[in-house]
Amino acid sequence: MTKDLSNTNDVNTDKTATSSAWGGRFSEATDAFVQRFTASVDFDQRMYLEDIEGSIAHATMLAKVGVLSDDEKQQIYAGLEGVRADIEQGTFEWSVELEDVHMNIESALTKRIGITGKKLHTGRSRNDQVATDIRLYVRSAIDAIAKELTRLQEGLLVVAEREAGTIMPGFTHLQTAQPVTFGHHLMAWFEMLSRDFDRFMDCRQRLNQSPLGAAALAGTTYPIDRDYTADLLGFERPTANSLDSVSDRDFAIEFCSAASVLLMHLSRASEELILWTSAQFDFIDLPDRFCTGSSIMPQKKNPDVPELVRGKTGRVYGNLTSLLTLMKSQPLAYNKDNQEDKEPLFDTIDTVRDCLRAFADMIPAIQAKKDNMYQAAKKGFSTATDLADYLVRKGIAFRDSHEIVGKSVAYGIEQNKDLSEMTLAELQQFSTTIEQDVFDVLTLEGSVAARNHIGGTAPKQVKAAVDNAKQLLAARS
């Protein structure tokens, strides 16, 4: 039982001024430049699947509430299916005159199925339509990002487990501080990425509400069923306020914010990879396939992939700033400004996906140069704290033991000797409390093994951390 609410049969389509979807009240055609200036089709066509999915849900709901007949609904399904096929086969002709992805698809639908196509927009506006499309698009981007993040974390676990006992210098101020294990260092990256994962999931959960039905800004007079369309599109519920629904872009900002923190983390890891591959550190080797050479210096092997990831962090921060600035001071409800949300958002999605892919491919291929790491850890008096702790265990107050060790280090610098390379007699110059057993704590192995508590660098703890992490990842799937 269908009422012809859109009354489209009566429209005089023989317009001379403009044939656009909103041309009715206009008496001259849009300026050609303005048409190009205001169009978004060049960049929003990538949401064609979400747009079609949203339209199918809308048509299904309109038929359920009796605004469309079942036959009209079926025509719309078939027509949209045809449009999708055309787009995917590359035969669809995108037109700037039709402004955006929404009107391009609607117009193609009408060309295919005639007047029924014109009924699809009943009870809907491009304002709620675009809000719905972007939410759907970001939601599936988050799902793809979550998979890639997990793949990267799995790769980290493989290397961390393998290198749980590999000793390297740990740094503060980029000065040798205390020995750590390479596995422990990689598990620090793992923790950063776990927080990133949670941030994206948090963003996903908050964005997962359906703006469809908010129409232009105030809702619609048709007897729509917003719970139903929300459900059809996999949203948790309809959004609560129609004005907010069409103007809200918080989810895009939250997404770009989560992306910025992620890229900040990847830039830090990149920086370390770049340092470690340098001749000065020489801690790791990256396979040739992740590096490039120099056109002038034949000896060079440059860590381009981490460098580029570090560099791309800048555009992701920039995109976040763009979106925050775009939304600043905007009055309710929809404003054309909002069309500017897409390029920064899409660029962020593409950049995050590419960077994660590069990292997920690269990390498991890292080769640790264990001997170089070990030798570096031996330099820089990295077991000085262990000597201080040893003296405290023998009854000396920490501040005094700090002083004793400081003097020992000064002597070591002068003699060019690590603490572990000094004789007992040399060490005893600074404290007679020092005995033969000091050498147990002055070794790198002893130093890392002694930090044997939750979150510590002892190989045993690194293995435990890897086991916990495996369980965390298993619970995601």
Active-site annotation, residues = 173, 294
Query: Using an 8 Å Cβ cutoff, are 477 and 154 in contact?
Result: no
- Count the Cβ atoms, other than its own, within 10 Å of residue 88: 11
Cβ-based nearer residue to ligand ARG, 100 or 106: 100
**Paired tokens of 333:** 């409800």
CA distance 206 to 443: 51
Q: Which of 51, 72, 100, 418 binds ligand ARG (CB under 6 A)?
A: 100
Cβ-based nearer residue to ligand ARG, 213 or 412: 213
Span interacting with ligand ARG, options 123-131, 293-301, 302-310, 372-380, rule CB under 6 A = 123-131
Residue 330's nearest CA partner among 342, 343, 341, 316 is: 341
Cβ-based nearer residue to ligand ARG, 20 or 302: 20
CA distance 232 to 69: 19
| Least distance CB 62 / ligand ARG (angstroms) | 20
Residues 124-143 interacting with ligand ARG (rule: CB under 6 A) = 126-127, 130
| Least distance CB 342 / ligand ARG (angstroms) | 6
Token look-up 């170089």 returns: 372
C-alpha distances (whole Å) from 390 to each of 179, 380, 433, 434, 450 are 16, 19, 10, 8, 11
| Least distance CB 28 / ligand ARG (angstroms) | 18
Cβ-based nearer residue to ligand ARG, 29 or 308: 29
Give all strands (DSSP E) within 296-373, no chain letters: 367-368
| Least distance CB 337 / ligand ARG (angstroms) | 9
| Least distance CB 136 / ligand ARG (angstroms) | 14
Contact letters for ligand ARG, residues 401-440 (x by CB under 6 A): ----------------------------------------
| Least distance CB 205 / ligand ARG (angstroms) | 24
Dihedral sign from CA coordinates of 293, 294, 298, 300: negative
CA distance 4 to 119: 9
CA distance 171 to 20: 64
Q: Which of 6, 40, 178, 208 binds ligand ARG (CB under 6 A)?
A: 40
Residue 41's nearest CA partner among 281, 400, 342 is: 342
CA distance 418 to 426: 12
CA distance 383 to 460: 19
Cβ-based nearer residue to ligand ARG, 133 or 163: 133
Residues 322-381 interacting with ligand ARG (rule: CB under 6 A) = 334, 336, 338-339
In sequence order, what DSSP letters do the residues of 128-183 get, joined into one string? Answer: HHHHHHHHHHHHHHHHHHHHHHHHHHHHHHHHHHHTTT-EEEEEETTEEEEEEEHH
| Least distance CB 5 / ligand ARG (angstroms) | 21
| Least distance CB 125 / ligand ARG (angstroms) | 7
Rg for the chain (alpha carbons), in Å?
Answer: 31
Residue 220's nearest CA partner among 339, 99, 335, 129 is: 129
The count of chain residues that interact with ligand ARG, using the rule CB under 6 A, is 10
Residues 183-222 interacting with ligand ARG (rule: CB under 6 A) = none
Cβ-based nearer residue to ligand ARG, 213 or 303: 213
Strands 175-181 and 167-172 turn out to be antiparallel
Residues 252-281 interacting with ligand ARG (rule: CB under 6 A) = none
Q: Is 302 helix (H, G, I), strand (E, B) or coil?
A: strand
Residue 58's nearest CA partner among 109, 8, 129, 107 is: 129
Residue 6 interacts with ligand ARG (CB under 6 A): yes or no:
no
**Paired tokens of 123:** 């009870």
What are the residues whose beta carbons fall under 8 Å from the beta carbon of 157, sequence distance 6 or more? 190, 466, 469, 470, 473
Please give the backbone phi and psi of residue 367, each rounded to the nearest 5 degrees, phi first.
-105, 120
| Least distance CB 123 / ligand ARG (angstroms) | 16
Contact positions toward ligand ARG, by CB under 6 A? 40, 44, 100, 126-127, 130, 334, 336, 338-339
